[in-house]
Amino acid sequence: MDTETKLQTARVNKAKADEAFKQGDVKAALLSYHTALMYLKGINKQDVSGAMAANNPAPAEGAAEPVTPKTEVDELLDKIYSNQAACHIKNQNWQRAWETADQALAKNETNYKAMFRKAKALGELGYFERAERLLEDIISKNPTDAAPSQAELARLRALDKQREKKTNNKMKGFLGRDKSGKGIGLETDKDYHKPAPGTIASGDDS
C-alpha cells in the first residue's frame, strides 16, 4: 500500500471515529482511532517529508533555515491522540487519558484541548497541584477559551479543600480519642504481668 493510500485510509477512519464519538459510541470511536493510528505509523516519514520538500522551494542563499513544517501525519497523530484522551475521559479511564493527552502534546505542545484533558485526568488521579498548574497555564496562554479551564480549576480546588478537611478531621479524631493513652496502643504498668511462680521470665530457652 502506498503512502497516499495509507493517509487516505487513516483520514477515513479518523472521520468515522469522530462521528462515533459524537453519537456517544466511545468503543467504536476508540477502535477507529486505533485503526487510523496503525496506518499512520506504517507511513515512512521520509516519503511525506520528501513530497513536502518537492512542493516548497529551497531558501535563498544566506537566508535563515525555515522551521521544519509539520506533516499531515504529525497533525493527524496530534488530533487522534487528543481525541483518544477525550474517549478515555468519557470512560473514566484517567490513566489512559493522561497518557494519550501526553502523546498529543508531544506532537503539538500548544494543543490546549490536550492540555485540558491531561489536567482533567491528573486531577481525577489526585495530582491536584500538577493539574492546577496546567489549567493556570492554559488560562494565561489561551484567554479567549479560558472558561472551561476556569470552571475545572474551581471544581478541583473545591475537591481539594474537601479532601483536606476530611484528612484533618480524621487526624483530630485519632489524636483526640483518648489523651490518657487508652485506645491508641500505649503501654502502661498495668500491662506488665509478673511470671507465675516456677516459670522462667528471662526468655532463656535453656
Q: Is 90:60 a contact under the CB 8 Å cutoff?
A: no
SS3 label, residue 71: coil
- pLDDT on residue 45: 73
Of the CA atoms within 13 Å of residue 139, those in its CB half-sphere come to: 15
Structure confidence at residue 200 (pLDDT): 44
Q: What is the pLDDT of residue 170?
A: 76
With a cut of 50, list the residues of the chain below it in pLDDT: 50-54, 59, 64, 66, 183-184, 187, 199-206
pLDDT number for residue 197:
55
CB 16 within 8 A of CB 78: no
Q: Model pTM greater than 0.75?
A: no
Query: HEC profile for 141-154?
Result: HCHHHCHHHHHHHH
Alpha carbon distance 130, 153 (integer Å) = 11
